[in-house]
Structure 1
Amino acid sequence: MTNNDPVDPIIFRESQRFTQPWVWLVVLLPAAMAWYGALEQLVYGRPYGTNPVSDQGMVIILIAFGILLPLFILSIRFVVVVRNSGIYVKFFPIHLSFRHYPFEDIYAYDAVTYRPLRDYGGWGIRYGSHGKAYNIKGNRGLMLKFTNGKHLLLGSQESDVLKMSVDQARNRKSN
Protein backbone atom coordinates (compact mmCIF):
# COMPACT_ATOMS: atom_id res chain seq x y z
CA MET A 1 0.00 0.00 0.00
CA THR A 2 1.58 3.25 -1.14
CA ASN A 3 0.49 6.66 0.09
CA ASN A 4 0.14 8.30 -3.33
CA ASP A 5 -1.77 5.66 -5.31
CA PRO A 6 -3.90 7.64 -7.81
CA VAL A 7 -6.16 4.62 -8.40
CA ASP A 8 -6.80 4.04 -4.68
CA PRO A 9 -6.34 7.40 -2.91
CA ILE A 10 -6.45 7.88 0.85
CA ILE A 11 -9.86 9.16 1.88
CA PHE A 12 -9.24 9.15 5.64
CA ARG A 13 -6.17 8.59 7.83
CA GLU A 14 -5.92 8.66 11.60
CA SER A 15 -2.87 7.90 13.69
CA GLN A 16 -3.05 7.55 17.46
CA ARG A 17 -0.49 7.10 20.23
CA PHE A 18 -0.69 6.56 23.96
CA THR A 19 -0.63 10.12 25.31
CA GLN A 20 -2.73 9.69 28.44
CA PRO A 21 -0.91 10.78 31.62
CA TRP A 22 -2.05 7.67 33.53
CA VAL A 23 -0.43 5.40 30.91
CA TRP A 24 2.87 7.21 31.27
CA LEU A 25 2.60 7.10 35.07
CA VAL A 26 2.17 3.30 34.90
CA VAL A 27 5.20 3.06 32.57
CA LEU A 28 7.52 5.66 34.10
CA LEU A 29 7.04 4.68 37.74
CA PRO A 30 8.67 1.24 37.31
CA ALA A 31 11.24 2.85 34.99
CA ALA A 32 12.18 5.38 37.67
CA MET A 33 12.39 2.63 40.29
CA ALA A 34 14.66 0.59 38.00
CA TRP A 35 16.94 3.57 37.39
CA TYR A 36 17.05 4.43 41.11
CA GLY A 37 17.78 0.82 42.08
CA ALA A 38 20.50 0.56 39.44
CA LEU A 39 22.08 3.81 40.59
CA GLU A 40 22.04 2.70 44.23
CA GLN A 41 23.39 -0.78 43.60
CA LEU A 42 25.65 -0.42 40.56
CA VAL A 43 27.08 3.06 41.10
CA TYR A 44 27.04 3.51 44.89
CA GLY A 45 27.50 -0.16 45.77
CA ARG A 46 24.52 -0.25 48.15
CA PRO A 47 22.29 -3.30 47.63
CA TYR A 48 18.81 -2.13 46.65
CA GLY A 49 15.88 -3.54 48.65
CA THR A 50 15.60 -6.09 51.43
CA ASN A 51 16.28 -9.01 49.09
CA PRO A 52 18.54 -7.49 46.40
CA VAL A 53 19.17 -9.15 43.05
CA SER A 54 22.68 -9.63 41.72
CA ASP A 55 24.33 -6.84 39.76
CA GLN A 56 23.61 -8.78 36.56
CA GLY A 57 19.95 -9.06 37.57
CA MET A 58 19.85 -5.32 38.24
CA VAL A 59 21.24 -4.62 34.76
CA ILE A 60 18.54 -6.85 33.25
CA ILE A 61 15.83 -5.06 35.27
CA LEU A 62 17.23 -1.68 34.20
CA ILE A 63 17.25 -2.67 30.53
CA ALA A 64 13.78 -4.25 30.63
CA PHE A 65 11.87 -1.72 32.75
CA GLY A 66 14.06 1.37 32.56
CA ILE A 67 14.71 1.36 28.81
CA LEU A 68 12.79 -1.21 26.74
CA LEU A 69 9.32 -0.82 28.29
CA PRO A 70 9.21 2.99 27.87
CA LEU A 71 10.60 2.70 24.32
CA PHE A 72 8.01 0.05 23.46
CA ILE A 73 5.09 2.16 24.73
CA LEU A 74 6.52 5.23 22.98
CA SER A 75 6.74 3.30 19.68
CA ILE A 76 3.12 2.11 19.67
CA ARG A 77 1.03 3.66 16.92
CA PHE A 78 -2.47 2.74 15.79
CA VAL A 79 -3.19 3.79 12.21
CA VAL A 80 -6.50 3.52 10.35
CA VAL A 81 -6.65 4.31 6.63
CA VAL A 82 -9.75 4.31 4.44
CA ARG A 83 -9.33 3.87 0.70
CA ASN A 84 -11.72 2.94 -2.08
CA SER A 85 -10.51 -0.67 -1.74
CA GLY A 86 -11.31 -0.98 1.96
CA ILE A 87 -10.06 -0.23 5.45
CA TYR A 88 -6.40 -0.66 6.35
CA VAL A 89 -5.28 -1.03 9.96
CA LYS A 90 -1.83 -1.16 11.54
CA PHE A 91 -1.07 -1.49 15.26
CA PHE A 92 2.71 -0.91 15.19
CA PRO A 93 5.00 -2.54 16.37
CA ILE A 94 2.72 -5.59 16.64
CA HIS A 95 1.69 -5.31 12.97
CA LEU A 96 4.62 -4.46 10.73
CA SER A 97 2.36 -4.03 7.70
CA PHE A 98 -1.24 -2.96 7.23
CA ARG A 99 -4.12 -5.41 7.64
CA HIS A 100 -6.62 -4.96 4.80
CA TYR A 101 -10.36 -5.32 5.34
CA PRO A 102 -12.08 -5.12 1.94
CA PHE A 103 -15.55 -3.62 1.86
CA GLU A 104 -16.91 -6.84 0.32
CA ASP A 105 -16.20 -8.59 3.66
CA ILE A 106 -18.01 -5.92 5.74
CA TYR A 107 -21.81 -6.14 5.81
CA ALA A 108 -22.44 -3.43 8.45
CA TYR A 109 -20.58 -0.70 10.34
CA ASP A 110 -21.46 2.12 12.69
CA ALA A 111 -19.86 4.79 14.85
CA VAL A 112 -20.33 3.61 18.44
CA THR A 113 -19.63 4.55 22.03
CA TYR A 114 -18.20 1.64 24.01
CA ARG A 115 -16.76 0.94 27.45
CA PRO A 116 -13.10 -0.03 26.98
CA LEU A 117 -12.62 -1.66 30.39
CA ARG A 118 -15.97 -3.43 30.61
CA ASP A 119 -16.39 -4.42 26.95
CA TYR A 120 -12.77 -5.28 26.07
CA GLY A 121 -10.72 -5.28 29.26
CA GLY A 122 -8.80 -2.11 28.44
CA TRP A 123 -6.86 -0.60 25.56
CA GLY A 124 -4.53 -2.07 22.96
CA ILE A 125 -5.31 -5.15 20.88
CA ARG A 126 -8.12 -6.62 22.94
CA TYR A 127 -10.70 -9.38 22.77
CA GLY A 128 -14.04 -9.03 24.48
CA SER A 129 -17.66 -10.03 24.44
CA HIS A 130 -18.20 -7.87 21.34
CA GLY A 131 -15.28 -9.33 19.35
CA LYS A 132 -11.82 -7.90 18.74
CA ALA A 133 -10.81 -4.27 19.33
CA TYR A 134 -7.91 -2.08 18.34
CA ASN A 135 -7.97 0.98 20.56
CA ILE A 136 -5.55 3.46 22.08
CA LYS A 137 -7.69 5.93 23.99
CA GLY A 138 -11.19 7.19 24.44
CA ASN A 139 -14.51 5.38 24.16
CA ARG A 140 -15.58 6.06 20.56
CA GLY A 141 -14.93 3.97 17.50
CA LEU A 142 -16.20 2.28 14.37
CA MET A 143 -17.71 -1.18 14.83
CA LEU A 144 -17.26 -3.39 11.77
CA LYS A 145 -19.44 -6.47 11.28
CA PHE A 146 -18.07 -8.99 8.82
CA THR A 147 -19.87 -11.47 6.59
CA ASN A 148 -18.12 -14.31 8.47
CA GLY A 149 -19.89 -13.25 11.70
CA LYS A 150 -16.87 -11.62 13.37
CA HIS A 151 -16.81 -8.07 14.74
CA LEU A 152 -13.94 -5.60 14.91
CA LEU A 153 -13.94 -2.31 16.81
CA LEU A 154 -11.57 0.38 15.55
CA GLY A 155 -11.09 2.96 18.30
CA SER A 156 -11.11 6.47 16.86
CA GLN A 157 -10.94 10.03 18.08
CA GLU A 158 -12.89 10.94 14.92
CA SER A 159 -15.40 8.07 14.72
CA ASP A 160 -18.10 10.08 12.91
CA VAL A 161 -15.64 11.30 10.26
CA LEU A 162 -14.30 7.75 9.93
CA LYS A 163 -17.83 6.44 9.33
CA MET A 164 -18.53 9.16 6.74
CA SER A 165 -15.25 8.29 5.01
CA VAL A 166 -16.26 4.63 4.80
CA ASP A 167 -19.67 5.71 3.43
CA GLN A 168 -17.90 7.82 0.82
CA ALA A 169 -15.47 5.07 -0.19
CA ARG A 170 -18.21 2.43 -0.44
CA ASN A 171 -20.35 4.77 -2.57
CA ARG A 172 -17.41 5.39 -4.93
CA LYS A 173 -16.78 1.66 -5.18
CA SER A 174 -20.41 0.86 -6.05
CA ASN A 175 -20.55 3.50 -8.82
Structure 2
Amino acid sequence: MEIIFRERQRFKQIWLWVVIFGVSGIFWAGFVYQVILGGQFGNRPVPDVMLTIMTGLVGVGLPLFFYRMSLVTEVVPGELRARFWPFLIKPVTIVLHELRNYEKVTYNPIREYGGWGIRGSMKGNAYNVYGNEGVKLYFYNQKPLLIGSQKADDLFNAITLAKQQKG
Protein backbone atom coordinates (compact mmCIF):
# COMPACT_ATOMS: atom_id res chain seq x y z
CA MET A 1 0.00 0.00 0.00
CA GLU A 2 1.30 3.46 -0.88
CA ILE A 3 2.54 5.49 2.10
CA ILE A 4 1.49 9.11 1.65
CA PHE A 5 3.11 10.38 4.85
CA ARG A 6 5.50 8.86 7.40
CA GLU A 7 7.10 10.50 10.40
CA ARG A 8 9.17 9.03 13.21
CA GLN A 9 9.57 11.22 16.28
CA ARG A 10 11.72 10.75 19.35
CA PHE A 11 12.00 12.59 22.64
CA LYS A 12 14.34 15.59 22.13
CA GLN A 13 13.72 17.63 25.26
CA ILE A 14 17.08 18.67 26.75
CA TRP A 15 15.72 18.67 30.32
CA LEU A 16 14.50 15.07 29.91
CA TRP A 17 17.90 13.84 28.74
CA VAL A 18 19.65 15.75 31.56
CA VAL A 19 17.44 13.92 34.09
CA ILE A 20 17.93 10.53 32.39
CA PHE A 21 21.71 10.88 32.17
CA GLY A 22 21.83 12.36 35.69
CA VAL A 23 20.10 9.31 37.16
CA SER A 24 22.19 7.01 34.97
CA GLY A 25 25.37 8.84 36.02
CA ILE A 26 24.64 8.29 39.72
CA PHE A 27 24.51 4.54 39.16
CA TRP A 28 27.68 4.61 37.03
CA ALA A 29 29.50 6.67 39.69
CA GLY A 30 28.46 4.17 42.37
CA PHE A 31 29.54 1.25 40.18
CA VAL A 32 32.96 2.73 39.45
CA TYR A 33 33.58 3.80 43.05
CA GLN A 34 32.41 0.59 44.70
CA VAL A 35 33.02 -2.24 42.22
CA ILE A 36 36.09 -0.97 40.36
CA LEU A 37 37.83 1.17 43.00
CA GLY A 38 36.78 -0.94 46.02
CA GLY A 39 35.14 1.82 48.09
CA GLN A 40 31.73 1.83 49.72
CA PHE A 41 29.06 3.81 47.87
CA GLY A 42 26.65 5.29 50.42
CA ASN A 43 26.03 4.65 54.13
CA ARG A 44 24.50 1.22 53.54
CA PRO A 45 26.03 -0.06 50.27
CA VAL A 46 24.38 -2.84 48.33
CA PRO A 47 26.42 -5.90 47.33
CA ASP A 48 28.61 -5.50 44.22
CA VAL A 49 26.50 -7.97 42.24
CA MET A 50 23.31 -6.04 42.99
CA LEU A 51 24.96 -2.71 42.11
CA THR A 52 26.22 -4.20 38.83
CA ILE A 53 22.71 -5.40 37.94
CA MET A 54 21.15 -2.06 38.90
CA THR A 55 23.79 -0.17 36.87
CA GLY A 56 22.99 -2.34 33.87
CA LEU A 57 19.26 -1.77 34.22
CA VAL A 58 19.30 1.94 35.07
CA GLY A 59 22.70 3.07 33.81
CA VAL A 60 22.35 1.41 30.40
CA GLY A 61 18.71 0.35 30.14
CA LEU A 62 17.04 3.66 31.01
CA PRO A 63 18.87 5.80 28.40
CA LEU A 64 18.51 3.05 25.80
CA PHE A 65 14.78 2.70 26.55
CA PHE A 66 14.16 6.44 26.05
CA TYR A 67 16.37 6.53 22.95
CA ARG A 68 14.41 3.69 21.32
CA MET A 69 10.99 5.08 22.32
CA SER A 70 9.32 6.65 19.29
CA LEU A 71 6.04 7.75 17.76
CA VAL A 72 5.63 6.61 14.16
CA THR A 73 2.76 8.16 12.23
CA GLU A 74 1.81 6.85 8.80
CA VAL A 75 -0.93 7.93 6.44
CA VAL A 76 -1.99 5.56 3.67
CA PRO A 77 -5.07 5.78 1.45
CA GLY A 78 -8.09 5.67 3.75
CA GLU A 79 -6.16 5.23 7.02
CA LEU A 80 -3.95 6.88 9.59
CA ARG A 81 -1.72 4.63 11.71
CA ALA A 82 0.00 5.69 14.92
CA ARG A 83 2.43 3.46 16.79
CA PHE A 84 4.05 4.58 20.04
CA TRP A 85 6.82 2.02 20.62
CA PRO A 86 7.11 0.19 23.05
CA PHE A 87 3.66 0.90 24.47
CA LEU A 88 1.63 0.36 21.31
CA ILE A 89 3.32 -2.59 19.61
CA LYS A 90 0.46 -2.86 17.14
CA PRO A 91 -0.36 0.48 15.48
CA VAL A 92 -3.62 2.22 16.28
CA THR A 93 -5.45 2.36 12.94
CA ILE A 94 -7.93 5.13 12.27
CA VAL A 95 -10.20 4.68 9.28
CA LEU A 96 -10.40 8.20 7.87
CA HIS A 97 -14.01 8.04 6.67
CA GLU A 98 -15.00 7.60 10.34
CA LEU A 99 -13.67 11.08 11.14
CA ARG A 100 -16.19 13.82 11.75
CA ASN A 101 -13.53 16.51 11.27
CA TYR A 102 -9.82 17.24 11.74
CA GLU A 103 -7.70 20.35 12.10
CA LYS A 104 -4.10 21.45 12.44
CA VAL A 105 -3.57 22.78 15.96
CA THR A 106 -1.00 24.49 18.11
CA TYR A 107 -1.42 23.39 21.72
CA ASN A 108 0.22 23.52 25.13
CA PRO A 109 1.29 19.92 25.88
CA ILE A 110 1.66 20.41 29.63
CA ARG A 111 -1.40 22.57 30.27
CA GLU A 112 -3.78 20.79 27.89
CA TYR A 113 -2.62 17.15 28.12
CA GLY A 114 -0.32 16.94 31.14
CA GLY A 115 2.87 16.49 29.09
CA TRP A 116 4.15 14.27 26.32
CA GLY A 117 3.59 10.58 25.64
CA ILE A 118 0.29 8.75 25.46
CA ARG A 119 -1.93 11.17 27.33
CA GLY A 120 -5.58 11.50 28.20
CA SER A 121 -7.41 14.57 29.44
CA MET A 122 -10.79 16.28 29.42
CA LYS A 123 -9.87 17.61 25.94
CA GLY A 124 -9.38 14.08 24.60
CA ASN A 125 -6.39 11.84 24.06
CA ALA A 126 -2.96 12.67 22.66
CA TYR A 127 0.02 10.88 21.20
CA ASN A 128 2.95 13.27 21.22
CA VAL A 129 6.66 13.25 21.98
CA TYR A 130 7.98 16.71 21.20
CA GLY A 131 6.82 20.19 20.29
CA ASN A 132 3.41 21.83 20.35
CA GLU A 133 1.87 21.23 16.92
CA GLY A 134 -0.21 18.42 15.52
CA VAL A 135 -3.47 17.38 13.97
CA LYS A 136 -6.55 16.91 16.11
CA LEU A 137 -8.97 14.25 14.93
CA TYR A 138 -12.66 14.48 15.84
CA PHE A 139 -14.83 11.35 15.82
CA TYR A 140 -18.58 10.82 15.93
CA ASN A 141 -18.59 8.52 18.94
CA GLN A 142 -15.42 9.09 20.99
CA LYS A 143 -13.12 11.74 22.42
CA PRO A 144 -10.86 13.67 20.03
CA LEU A 145 -7.33 12.37 19.42
CA LEU A 146 -4.37 14.67 18.93
CA ILE A 147 -1.44 13.33 16.92
CA GLY A 148 1.61 15.47 17.65
CA SER A 149 3.86 16.17 14.67
CA GLN A 150 6.93 18.16 13.70
CA LYS A 151 5.37 18.32 10.22
CA ALA A 152 1.79 19.18 11.13
CA ASP A 153 1.05 20.87 7.79
CA ASP A 154 2.27 17.82 5.86
CA LEU A 155 0.29 15.48 8.12
CA PHE A 156 -2.87 17.54 7.66
CA ASN A 157 -2.44 17.58 3.87
CA ALA A 158 -1.71 13.83 3.80
CA ILE A 159 -4.90 13.11 5.76
CA THR A 160 -6.87 15.24 3.30
CA LEU A 161 -5.39 13.35 0.35
CA ALA A 162 -5.76 9.92 1.98
CA LYS A 163 -9.37 10.62 2.92
CA GLN A 164 -10.15 11.36 -0.72
CA GLN A 165 -8.40 8.17 -1.92
CA LYS A 166 -10.20 5.87 0.57
CA GLY A 167 -7.81 2.89 0.21
TM-score bracket, shorter-length normalisation: over 0.9
* Distance in 2 between residues matched to 1:50 and 1:118, nearest whole Å: 41
**Structure 1 match to 2:151:** 158
Partners of 2:135 and 2:147 within 8 A in 1: yes
Other structure's SS at 2:4 match: strand
2:91 is the counterpart of 1:118: no
Greater relative contact order, per chain length (Cα 8 Å cut-off, separation 6+): 2
Aligned partner of 1:49 among 34, 39, 42 = 42
Q: CA deviation at 1:139?
A: 0.5
Are residue 132 (structure 1) and residue 125 (structure 2) matched? Answer: yes
Query: Distance in 2 between the 1:75 and 1:102 partners?
Result: 27
Q: For the residues of structure 2 that align with 1:97 and 1:12, how far apart are their CA atoms?
A: 18
Tell whether 2:10 aligns with 1:23: no
- Residue 144 of structure 1 aligns to a residue whose secondary structure is strand
Larger CA deviation: 45-54 vs 150-159: 45-54
For residues 94 and 51 of structure 1, the distance between their equivalents in structure 2, rounded to whole angstroms, comes to 36
| Shift, 1:22, TM fit | 1.8
> What per-residue deviation string (whole Å, max 9, x for no partner) do you get for residues 10-41 of structure 1?
11111111123222111111111111101111
- In structure 2, what is the Cα distance between the partners aligned to 1:49 and 1:111? 51
* Distance of 1:139 and 1:75 partners within structure 2: 21
* TM-score between both structures, scaled by the size of structure 2: 0.93
1:58 to 23, 31, 51: 51
Q: Alignment partner for residue 67 of structure 2, among 62, 70, 74? A: 74
Tell me whether 1:33 sits opposite 2:15 in the alignment.
no
Cα root mean square deviation, aligned? 1.6
Secondary structure at the aligned position of 1:10 is classed as coil
TM superposition score normalised by structure 1 = 0.89
Identity %: 38
- Equivalent residue number for residue 147 of structure 1: 140
Cα deviation for residue 43 of structure 1 reads: 1.3
Distance of 1:149 and 1:24 partners within structure 2 = 35
- Distance (whole Å) between structure 1 residues aligned to residue 140 and residue 45 of structure 2: 55
Where structure 2 has 5 or more consecutive residues not aligned to the other structure, the ranges are: none
Letter of the aligned partner of 2:98 in structure 1? D
Q: Distance in 1 between matches of 2:120 and 2:61?
A: 25
Aligned residues: 167
1:90 aligns with 2:74: no
Structure 1 residues 32-71: Cα deviation after superposition (integer angstroms, max 9, x where no partner): 1111101111112211123322323312320221011111
